[in-house]
Structure 1
Amino acid sequence: MGWGMDFNRAYDAVLTKWPQKPLGVDLAGRFGRTHVNVCGPEDSRPLILLPGGGATSTVWFDNVAALSKFRRVFAVDTLGDAGLSIPNGDPMKSVDDLIEWMDSIVDCTGADTVDVIGHSYGAMIALAFALHRPDRFGKLVLLDPNSSFAGMKAGYLLRALPLLLSPSRARRKRLLEWETGELSIDSDWLSLVEVGTSDLPRPDLVVPQRPSKEGLSALDVELLVVLAQDGRVHDAETVSRSVRERIPAARVEVLKDASHHSIPMVPADELNRVLVDFLEG
């Protein structure tokens, strides 16, 4: 996968918003080279961050200052999606391949167990990994996880259909602006996502199936689910109810003034408070 100069410039523009320049690490593996942005005390517990589709690892710019105070942060560019990872090995074709890839990322931290935060598609990966490999987890955070505990809204799917059928910068921009409404989203990050859409119109990704009720009930990981009250991808109350029914021990938080695509950037302060409280609790 080759990125143009526009993408690299846009990526760097968002990465400069991080409070400190991260250490860029490229992990060679069976499926290709995975790029990870690393920061935080080397002797702290590892925390893996998995972004939503197309968001890249740079999206955590308003969160890493709070998280890296007490965790060694490993922010991943998802292999096969927008970012600096290069899928130049065997193609990932199954959830088992996805789990193997995640295992390799955990291995790179040097720890047997890690904490994981995943948003959107990243939350789907994190949940699948937790269901298959709970032995590798400390705590798990799912940020507005779509197609995990409940279905997506028909209205969102209809809005997303033109982008899925014929991806373009303009269609990506229209979908994000509609879903985030009046919320103020960082313009540099929006530019990065739009450029990524033109450079990689159809990411080659393995999408885990929605887990069964029985599978979710058997989840043996300390879990926090954070939902966007104003999100248009799914109904926050329906997802919250599903989580509580299937995993009674899970903690559920609903953020005001938040949409699916505004997270984790908006509202960063409130989200960071919830994350730190859970991870340090």
Structure 2
Amino acid sequence: MGGYDGDAFRTAYDEVMARWPDDRQVLRVPTEFGTTYVNACGPRDAPPLLLLPGGGGATSASWYAQAALLASAHRVYAADLFGAPGRSEAAPGRPPRTAADLDSWLDALLDGLDELDGRTGLDGRARLDGPEGLRGPDGGDGTGGAHPISLGGHSYGGWIALRYALHAPARVRRLFLLDPTQCFAGYRPAYLLRALPMLVRPTRRRVRAFLEWETGGAGLDPGALRLQEAAAGFPAPRPVTGPRPDARALRALDVPVLLAVAARSRTHDARAVAARAEEALRDVETVVVADVSHHALPPAASPALDRRLSDFLAVSG
């Protein structure tokens, strides 16, 4: 097939977002790096939860299977990343380029979400509208109140979330990592080798072939697969990468963590990831999710895991 088709991507994105709760709203939060597109649902006065997607063709839409349950007790925010497919718009010449930039982006995003939903004084930095909300005006540096938020991420989003918890632990109440990459173990060489053709020249066919290989064809949601295929060739800045977190920093982290790893992941050795996390972190619960692979998540997460996550987030303190 040909190159990137923006209309096809937006159609596939909207089809998956139609599976989110009916109260879903769009927030557009300006930051120095550009405007972050956030899908939100749940009561505005409920405890906040921010979810980050994996890299590649993943978007905030990927959390549709968990959104309703989590929104029953939380104000759920799911953000599209810069440097990845989605509807966030990077500022010309100023996308995040370093891991420190990602930390600064999340600082500003959390400030904007606090202001938007009344946890600090609303100053016009961010704006809320309906499902196709309008972009809010640019504002200041984001010095709003540091209200703690629960934070979760899948794959690459887990790496970003863990880095942020190490950067600003006072802002993170609880941390959920869903088969995170480059946090506690590296990639399998065979995984990188298999991904190389798709990374060098992404096409719909190569995306599908890679995902079917990693998942064995099991657990791949058709709508989510269409969205991943439609994202092939998406014009985005190069994603930020970096080293795994330092062992000493991990040991010092005083934030409760729920780590769920995919037993059938071809991305990395899931049990090694869990074992190393248990060695490194002071306060961690680990779950090995049976019969699921890395790229089938989050949609293929079991109801039992979704309930475990809901219970974990509900714990006070």
TM-score, length-scaled by structure 1: 0.95
Q: Which residue of 2 aligns with 1:101?
A: 105
Contact 1:36 1:75 in 2 (8 A): yes
Q: Distance in 2 between matches of 1:81 and 1:203?
A: 7
The alignment status of 1:221 with 2:243, answered yes or no, reads no
Q: Letter of the 1:108 partner, please give it.
A: G
Give the fraction of aligned pairs with identical amino acids, expressed as a percent: 41
Cα drift, residue 11 of structure 1 = 0.7
Q: Which runs of 5+ in 1 are unaligned?
A: none
Cα drift, residue 80 of structure 1 = 2.3
Q: Which residue of 1 aligns with 2:38?
A: 36
Q: Aligned to 1:35, what secondary structure does the other structure show?
A: strand
Cα drift, residue 248 of structure 1 = 4.0
Q: Which residue of 2 aligns with 1:25?
A: 27
Q: Distance in 2 between matches of 1:45 and 1:216?
A: 25
Q: Which residue of 1 aligns with 2:84?
A: 81
Q: Which residue of 1 aligns with 2:212?
A: 177
Contact 1:257 1:267 in 2 (8 A): no
Q: 1:275 aligns with which of 309, 312, 315?
A: 309
Contact 1:62 1:268 in 2 (8 A): no
Larger displacement relative to structure 2 (121-130 or 14-23): 14-23
The alignment status of 1:120 with 2:122, answered yes or no, reads no
Contact 2:292 2:300 in 1 (8 A): yes
Q: Which runs of 5+ in 2 are unaligned?
A: 120-146
Tell me the C-alpha RMSD between the 2 structures: 1.5
The alignment status of 1:243 with 2:247, answered yes or no, reads no
Q: Which residue of 2 aligns with 1:186?
A: 221
Q: Letter of the 1:95 partner, please give it.
A: A
The alignment status of 1:72 with 2:75, answered yes or no, reads yes
Cα drift, residue 92 of structure 1 = 1.4
Cα drift, residue 230 of structure 1 = 0.8
Once superposed, which parts of structure 1, at least 4 consecutive aligned residues long, lie more than 6 Å away? Answer: none
Contact 2:82 2:237 in 1 (8 A): no
TM-score, length-scaled by structure 2: 0.84
Q: Distance in 1 between matches of 2:201 and 2:23?
A: 36
Cα drift, residue 9 of structure 1 = 0.7
Contact 2:53 2:154 in 1 (8 A): yes
Provide Cα deviations, 1:3-55, integer angstroms capped at 9, x if missing partner: 71111111101111113251011111111111000100111010001000121
The alignment status of 1:152 with 2:154, answered yes or no, reads no
Equivalent residue pairs, number: 279
Contact 1:150 1:238 in 2 (8 A): yes
